[in-house]
Structure 1
């Protein structure tokens, strides 16, 4: 079984807390993307990043001095979004780190796919970014089926905790031999399941923590997830979608 999650826009450098284990799977492809980005103007990069001048300047400077082999942070400690805050990997025990290193995969526009202890640099490149002046127009085209093929070579059972922007890198290439279960975290409002962005990110992080703490090996066992006031709803779920709703208070 493998768990897929999205990266976070906000990243940090932490070369002290834990050592990284290895370089990412697709480091050669990442080098191609890095050189492509280094060849773009500030305005082109700002357009790709779709951000303000402060963020664009920071990331432009990062690109100019980027070295993919020095001052690397374990991926799981590098991302700082809400999902990662609720996962709270910095307080994991050794067994939990071992669990996520085997089971957890972080999808990335820049790195393709990361294991938790792959060494990374800070970057900004979302999967849905439009490439400029390149022979491909999107990162989906750049990565094609490469990420999915690698993931499927590791396991034929995938727990999808990633956003649609990232999970489509995998779902587009599903075949009959792969079980792909998407977890939905929502509330029942006017007889409709409503997912709220921040709460979903919180729940995804808690689900990873839950799976690591309980050493979950069988996908059916995640149905017992009951954190942040969520409960599994069998009648709303099917073999490809597990629905968890907030309990009514």
Structure 2
């Protein structure tokens, strides 16, 4: 079993725990870095869709970026809502071992990351219109590589990623690998409505819940009850587990 999650735009460096390995697709990351460094500042700002201040910070990052030294474990590097609710800073050693085996972070820059792969702060979303090596965008650049890596030792994959990132692997997974999506929402006028911030919070809580429960099967997730959510069998299907929250 593998769990896939999205990265976060905001990143930090952290030396509390050492990184263990370099990312599996680092040679492809090298090519992305070279392409970014070859672009003019105005084009990069447009690619990043950010303010002048954030663009300046990331231009300085590109200038000094070292992909092999001074790295931070990926699980500690991202600072988004999902990661705050996952709270990796207080995982036990056994829970970190669980995550290292099962959790994978999807990334437009690094491809697929294990929790203790060493990374450096970057800015590159999966949906960025970046053409590299003849590929029209990052989805084409990564192709089936990420799904193939996931499928090597996974009977099923739990999708806790945003659509932007899950789209990078979903259409490439072989039929033998079951993809199960978690939906966290509220019922409104007969429809299940997902709200962005609450979804991110719940995805982080689900990762923590699975590590605490040592979950291995979809059935192990059904008792999840955090942030007011409850499993709804009538809204769920074989490949979609729906958890509803009282509004």
In the alignment, what sits opposite 1:7?
A: 7
In the alignment, what sits opposite 1:116?
A: 115
Describe the superposition over 1:106-153 as per-residue Cα deviations: whole angstroms up to 9, x where unpaired. Answer: 000000000000000000000000015863221001000000001111
Checking the alignment, whether the CA contact within 8 Å between 2:131 and 2:138 is kept in structure 1 is no
In the alignment, what sits opposite 1:80?
A: 79
Q: Which runs of 4+ in 1 moved over 4 A?
A: none
Checking the alignment, whether the CA contact within 8 Å between 1:105 and 1:115 is kept in structure 2 is yes
Give the secondary structure class of the aligned counterpart of 1:35: helix
- The reply to whether residue 101 of structure 1 matches residue 75 of structure 2 is no
The structural deviation recorded for 1:8 is: 0.2
After TM superposition, list the pairs within 5 Å mapping 1:1-249 onto structure 2: 1-14=1-14, 16-131=15-130, 135-247=134-246
In the alignment, the residues of structure 1 paired with residue 214 and residue 228 of structure 2 have an alpha-carbon distance, to the nearest angstrom, of: 21
Describe the superposition over 1:42-66 as per-residue Cα deviations: whole angstroms up to 9, x where unpaired. Answer: 0111111011100000001101111
Give the secondary structure class of the aligned counterpart of 1:234: coil
Give the secondary structure class of the aligned counterpart of 2:100: helix
TM-score (structure 2 length as normaliser): 0.98
Checking the alignment, whether the CA contact within 8 Å between 1:44 and 1:132 is kept in structure 2 is no
Checking the alignment, whether the CA contact within 8 Å between 2:13 and 2:72 is kept in structure 1 is yes
Unaligned runs of 5+ in 2: none
Describe the superposition over 1:72-95 as per-residue Cα deviations: whole angstroms up to 9, x where unpaired. Answer: 000000000000000000010100
In the alignment, the residues of structure 2 paired with residue 5 and residue 36 of structure 1 have an alpha-carbon distance, to the nearest angstrom, of: 26
TM-score (structure 1 length as normaliser): 0.97
In the alignment, the residues of structure 2 paired with residue 203 and residue 31 of structure 1 have an alpha-carbon distance, to the nearest angstrom, of: 34
The structural deviation recorded for 1:170 is: 1.1
Q: Structure 1 residues 34, 222: closer, same or farther in 2, change over 3 A? A: same
Give the secondary structure class of the aligned counterpart of 1:236: coil
Aligned length: 247
Checking the alignment, whether the CA contact within 8 Å between 1:131 and 1:138 is kept in structure 2 is yes
In the alignment, the residues of structure 1 paired with residue 95 and residue 140 of structure 2 have an alpha-carbon distance, to the nearest angstrom, of: 35
Unaligned runs of 5+ in 1: none
In the alignment, the residues of structure 1 paired with residue 24 and residue 160 of structure 2 have an alpha-carbon distance, to the nearest angstrom, of: 21
Describe the superposition over 1:18-57 as per-residue Cα deviations: whole angstroms up to 9, x where unpaired. Answer: 0001000101110010111111110111111011100000
In the alignment, the residues of structure 1 paired with residue 64 and residue 144 of structure 2 have an alpha-carbon distance, to the nearest angstrom, of: 30
Give the secondary structure class of the aligned counterpart of 1:3: strand
Checking the alignment, whether the CA contact within 8 Å between 2:148 and 2:173 is kept in structure 1 is no
